[in-house]
Amino acid sequence: MNHQASSDTLADMFDRSAETMPRADLAALQLSRLKQTLHNAYANVPHVRAKWDAAGVRPEHLKSLADIARFPFTTKADMRDTYPFGLFAVPREQVVRLHASSGTTGKATVVGYTQNDIDLWSNLMARCIACAGGRPGDVLHNAYGYGLFTGGLGVHYGAELLGCTVVPVSGGLTERQVTLLQDFGARIICATPSYALNIAEVAEAMGVDVRKLPVQIGIFGAEPWSNEMRHDLEARLGIAAVDLYGLSEIIGPGVAVECGVARNGLHGWEDHFLFEVIDPKTLEPVKPGDAGELVMTTLTKEALPMVRYRSRDITRLTDEPCACGRTHRRILRVTGRDDDMMIIRGVNVYPSQIEALLIGLPDISPHYQIVLMRDGALDSMTVEIEVAPGAPHDDAQKCTDISGRIKSRLGVSCTIALKASGELPRSQGKAVRVKDLRKKP
């Protein structure tokens, strides 16, 4: 078999026509799959049955997609209360894989997959990589962490299914990452955006110009990042960077991705997930196109069917047609999590909004950390920013300029603390953007 024939066969392994399905067909498919999911959850998960019984709803009450609004939400608390396997809809013996996310407090969130779930996940991740511009035969450098985190293995299985040559490097040992990028000639790099920045910086320090290497596409996600960060990474690495979204509770990476054509919003795979956006306070749906909390229902998962999972992620959905021809609605960049939102003297602000204002300023690096403190009864915010290598870090005028910029654009007052180059911690996975010193130990 020649290479072209084998590429076509591999590309057909996942159903490309599903990505351009007319919206009416997509809705009909969603409805029939949603009914199955509700029956599966109600019949097999006692916690779900008890909750729905208490709310007076049963799977047969769903006649149209809009009826989903009658069903209770699922939250992190449901996962904690049923730790570790209580939300599984299949006997544990049918679960071939577990993943977990550590979270900041309490017990980890545990998720499980049947073999069919793993196949689905691999298909969706393969679809994401292809959508981003990846092709069978590409070398794919996977710097997402392997292990209980879904990033490493999720991307790995999808890339193999697509027919890529996967370099399962995981996070860390950053100099070696640079060497492998040089030696193996990856066309695609996958990492959190903050770790990609770390790799770019280490390469610069090693005297390696990544822009001259074969790497062309960055598939970045797992944490909020701004368009300004995108442009910075694209310039440093000489790539086109696309956004990849997902969460363990729903499946892991592969829920939504930007297409390499438009790179403007992430196609959410509506043949496998139902997306809603709600007002996190009233819990009512927002007006189409307005920002709110993303709520997701899985339509085809076996081991862990999720109904109306409240992600806490703040975003907007757009129905506007995309230049790539895919019909699946786009999730606009996730600006942050509801629980990462800082309220500083009454003003709501996300770390990614601050990031967007810092990147590209002269003599400033893209490394920052936000420190929250209590100043009497009021919260105060200090933004620690690293200067570019060689730039002075005692420039009071610069601090005033930056805090003025933040005040005028976001309406929030803050103190700027310039740090010497290399002083702030570097990310190897998800960056810690906020140091909250207000909490009691």
**Binding residues vs ligand DLL (CB under 6 A):** 101, 144, 149-151, 221-224, 243-248, 252-253, 311, 313, 334, 337
- Least Å from the CB of residue 263 to ligand DLL: 13
Choose between 241 and 334: whose C-beta lies nearer to ligand DLL: 334
Distance in Å, CB of 151 to ligand DLL, minimum: 3
- CA angle 397-432-127, nearest 5°? 120
Give yes or no for a contact between 183 and 36, defined as CB atoms under 8 angstroms apart.
no
User: Whole-number minimum distance, CB 129 to ligand DLL, in Å?
Assistant: 12
CB 209 within 8 A of CB 233: no
Q: How far is the CB of 121 from ligand DLL (least distance, A)?
A: 11
Which residue do the tokens 């442009």 mark?
231
Q: Which is nearer to ligand DLL, 61 or 107 (CB)?
A: 107
Phi and psi, residue 279, nearest 5°: -80, 120
Could you identify the residue written with the tokens 């953007």? 433
Cα–Cα distances in Å, from 162 out to 138, 157, 165, 310? 9, 9, 9, 31
Q: For residue 344, list its beta bridge partners.
A: 347
Angle between helices 227-237 and 351-358 (to 10 degrees): 50
Least distance between ligand DLL and beta carbon 315 (Å): 8
Minimal distance in Å, beta carbon 333 to ligand DLL? 7
Contact 285, 254 (CB under 8 A): no
Between the CA of residue 163 and those of 10, 140, 158, what are the distances in Å? 7, 10, 9
Closer by beta carbon to ligand DLL, 151 or else 163: 151
Give the residue from 111, 113, 136 showing the smallest Cα distance to 126.
Answer: 136
What is the closest distance, in whole angstroms, from the C-beta atom of residue 411 to ligand DLL in the complex? 23
Distance in Å, CB of 404 to ligand DLL, minimum: 28
Nearer Cβ to ligand DLL, position 133 or 221? 221
d(CA 379, CA 322): 42
Residue closer to ligand DLL (CB basis): 52 or 245? 245
Pick the closer one to ligand DLL by CB: 94 or 101.
Answer: 101
Report the residue number, 62 or 354, with the smaller CB distance to ligand DLL: 354
Q: How far is CA 382 from CA 239, 369, 418, in A?
A: 33, 8, 10
**Which region holds residue 289: left if phi is over 0, alpha if psi is between -120 and 50, else beta?**
left
Cβ neighbourhood burial of 151 (10 Å; 0-12, 13-18, 19+): buried
- Contact, 252 vs 296, CB < 8 A? no
Cβ closer to ligand DLL: 42 or 121? 121
Tell me how far, at minimum, the Cβ of 3 lies from ligand DLL, in Å.
29
CB of 217 to ligand DLL, least distance (A): 14
Listed in sequence order, the DSSP H helices in 82-218 are 115-132, 150-162, 174-184, 193-206
Nearer to ligand DLL among residue 255 and residue 387 (C-beta): 255
Cβ closer to ligand DLL: 253 or 292? 253
Compare residues 38 and 140 and give the one whose CB is closer to ligand DLL. Answer: 140
Q: Tell which residue, 187, 186, 197, 250, has the closest CA to residue 220.
A: 197
**Are 357 and 409 spatial neighbours (Cβ–Cβ below 8 Å)?**
yes
Phi, psi of 221 (to 5 degrees): -175, -160
Residue of minimal Cβ distance to ligand DLL: 221
Residue 98's closest CA among 117, 85, 83, 113?
A: 113
| Minimum distance, C-beta of residue 204 to ligand DLL, in the bound complex (Å) | 24
